[in-house]
Amino acid sequence: MDVLIIKDLKKTYQSKDSLVKTEALKGVSLEIRAGEIFGLLGPNGAGKTTLINTITTLEKPTEGEVMVFGKSVVHDPMFTKKKIGVVHQEVINTGFFSIEEILKFQSGYYGIKNNLERINYLLEKLSLTPHRQKKVKQLSGGMKRRLMIAKALVHSPKLLLLDEPTAGVDVELRESLWKFVLELKASGVSILLTTHYLEEAEKLCDRVSIINKGNLIYTGKPREVIEKYSTKKIYLKTSSGQTHTLVDSAAKSIQDILKEHHISFSDIVDIQIEEGRLEEAFTKMVNL
């Protein structure tokens, strides 16, 4: 089942004092399946945030359709808001309320009166329990980021949108957040992720779409993208003392690469292999 379907989505902006139009999205189409982590990757200004804002009803599409669990986000925005959770790039800034108060307010927004069990669960999972009475202005950047995730999950949504959730956080916190994201996936939550950390996308995402200048230029599994657009490097030394650096398509097997260069495994005394990476493929694609 597809939890999110986007068809031919276009978004055009026009400033009030100018006739110039800016096309932020140019006919984007994609689907997100139940229980998958889907990565939306692209350089700054590619259209990622505009796409997320359209899904979450903050922006209205100029053309096209966005469906969340079978319902239009334009025609039934309240249904959409109940079904999705969103973590935006901007850090939370309601400084005079405590963590617990904010989560209770957010529960009330969704009409949930007695939500302490869910709040306690999220505080524990995100290592915020000892800080639950702290005001937001007392929190570190990492704690604020975790609070934003708790806030997005307080109503138990089945679709979670994460817009650069680990931007500016340390490695330890990043790893703990991704561990929690994988637990959410295992529980059936579908996740749309934007990130500049392509190594994370390579490890976590079931599929990725690469967006550039408002166009989706590729959708597929990370490994498929890597094999099509990146290279494999082989550094080796033979029994005769010669050293070789072989560079070829990431899709090719080591055996085939060695055969093409007339090198036998039996002649190799040392070998190091550098597999293709998503970052290399991404860089090539957005610079085409």
Q: What sign results for the dihedral spanned by CA atoms 80, 83, 89, 90? A: positive
Specify whether the CB–CB gap between 155 and 85 falls below 8 A.
yes
Q: What is the pLDDT of residue 276?
A: 87
Q: Strand, helix or coil at 247? A: strand
Specify whether the CB–CB gap between 149 and 177 falls below 8 A.
yes
Q: What is the pLDDT of residue 201?
A: 93
Identify the burial level of 152 via C-beta atoms within 10 angstroms of its C-beta, where 0-12 means exposed, 13-18 middle and 19 or more buried. Answer: buried
CA distance readout (Å), 284 to 71, 130, 214: 37, 45, 17
Lowest mean pLDDT across 108-117, 259-268, 277-286: 259-268
Q: Tell me 98's DSSP state.
A: B
Which is nearest to 153 in space by CA: 179, 127, 115, 186? 115
Q: What is the pLDDT of residue 288?
A: 59
For residue 3, pLDDT over 80 is answered with yes
Q: What is the pTM of this model?
A: 0.88
Percent of the chain topping pLDDT 70: 99
The string of pLDDT tens digits covering residues 69-127 is: 999 999 999 999 999 999 988 777 777 899 999 999 999 999 999 999 999 999 999 99
For residue 17, pLDDT over 80 is answered with no
Residue ranges of the chain assigned to CATH 3.40.50.300: 2-220
- Give the whole-angstrom CA distance, residue 90 versus residue 163: 9
Q: Which amino acid is at 161?
A: L
- Give the whole-angstrom CA distance, residue 52 versus residue 59: 9
Name every residue whose Cβ is closer than 8 Å to that of residue 169 and which is 6 or more positions away in sequence.
141, 142, 145, 177
The string of pLDDT tens digits covering residues 215-244 is: 999 999 999 999 888 888 888 888 888 888
For domain 2-220, the question of CATH label 3.40.50.300 is answered with: yes
